[in-house]
Amino acid sequence: MNESTIQPVQAEGFSLQALKAGDRAEFSRMVEIYSGNIYRLTLKMLNDPQDAEDVLQETFIKAFRGLKNFDGRSRLSTWLFRIATNEALMYLRRKRPTFVSIDEPVETEEGEQRPVQIVDWCCMPESELMSQEARQHLDEAVERLPHSLRVVFLLRDIEDLSTAETAEVLGLSDTAVKTRLSRARMRLREDLSVYFSEAPGFSGLKER
Amino acid sequence: MALPSEPHNHDNCRHLLGSLSDYVDGDLEEWLCAEIEHHLEDCENCRVVVDTLKKTVYLYHVTTEPKQMPREVKERLFKRLNLDDLIDKVK
């Protein structure tokens, strides 16, 4: 038998046959399991609960229609993230057409931005690093990232996708994903360094 | 404590910056990893950058909210998909 003609029958615990045949119960199970991840991603990409909800709904409507053509080569979750990400980027382009491009070239000639903040805040107590106020600042720092870096950071560090899966979702090379993740993390590090070094709990710690 | 065998060259810091994210993920080739570790031995500034970068990634990991969405968002989603009869029914 030719191996390439073998179609997977199971994907992440779902019956692909049932999903492709439009089985409502199986589709409902898929929505139950993945909708939380998709909503968290769209909310953080768009920073607008209404837009995030619209994109969430569009994602599963498109998934339902597209399932019959799903070939099982990617993971179901990766495929859903791809639909959701494309949909969210389309929303952003519609709202702010000039600011959103996931394909923008990575500026190689300048190399990495040199870190400016050299302050060691690692030893601050976790109660301060994870206070309600600090958590809010963590969220705001992500909101300040350009979209092309933000989406990579969200998929890799928040949704825990691998480099290869993130590359597949965004249609980028593994190298581009790594470069963008590095830039996103370095920017967040700068942002948090400013924030924590100004926090009351920082005084008394050794500044280097 | 061993003294650095050569004067510290800050050009190296810049050259290694792009690899620090892969370094904290443990996702670097052995030779580059060794180069970074050698550099960190006598570059206090880069050590601070690596430590705070690790802590940044860690903080986002541990503070990520659970993936639950508001009940009403879920109800509207199931309704929009004509699955409202199946909400919370299938496991």
Q: Do A122 and B66 touch (CB under 8 A)?
A: no
Q: Is the pLDDT of residue A111 over 70?
A: no
Contact A140, A44 (CB under 8 A): no
Chain B residues in contact with A129 (beta carbon < 8 A) = 55, 59
Query: What DSSP character marks residue A4?
Result: G
A82 touches chain B (CB under 8 A): no
More confident residue, A122 or A61: A61
Q: Where are the domains of chain A?
A: 3-95, 126-202
CATH of A126-202, one of 2.40.30.20, 1.10.10.10, 3.40.50.11540, 3.40.50.720: 1.10.10.10
Q: Do A53 and B90 touch (CB under 8 A)?
A: no
Same fold flag, A3-95 and A126-202: no
Fold topology of A3-95: Rna Polymerase Sigma Factor; Chain: A (1.10.1740)
Q: How confident is the model at residue A101 (pLDDT cuts 50, 70, 90)?
A: low
pLDDT value of residue A51:
96
A125 is written with which tokens? 């107590």
Q: Where are the domains of chain B?
A: 11-65
- Of all residues in chain A, what percent are helix, strand and coil, respectively (each to 5)? 65, 0, 35
The per-residue pLDDT for range A149-190, each reduced to its tens digit, is 999 999 999 999 999 999 999 999 999 999 999 999 999 999
Per-residue three-class SS string for A149-168: HHHHHHHHHHCCCCHHHHHH
Mean pLDDT rounded to a whole number for chain A: 87
> Which percentage of chain A shows pLDDT scores above 90?
70
Q: How confident is the model at residue A118 (pLDDT cuts 50, 70, 90)?
A: confident
pLDDT value of residue A94:
87
B71 touches chain A (CB under 8 A): no
B54 is written with which tokens? 């690790």
Q: How confident is the model at residue A99 (pLDDT cuts 50, 70, 90)?
A: low
pLDDT value of residue A8:
62
Q: Is the pLDDT of residue B48 over 70?
A: yes
pLDDT value of residue A1:
44
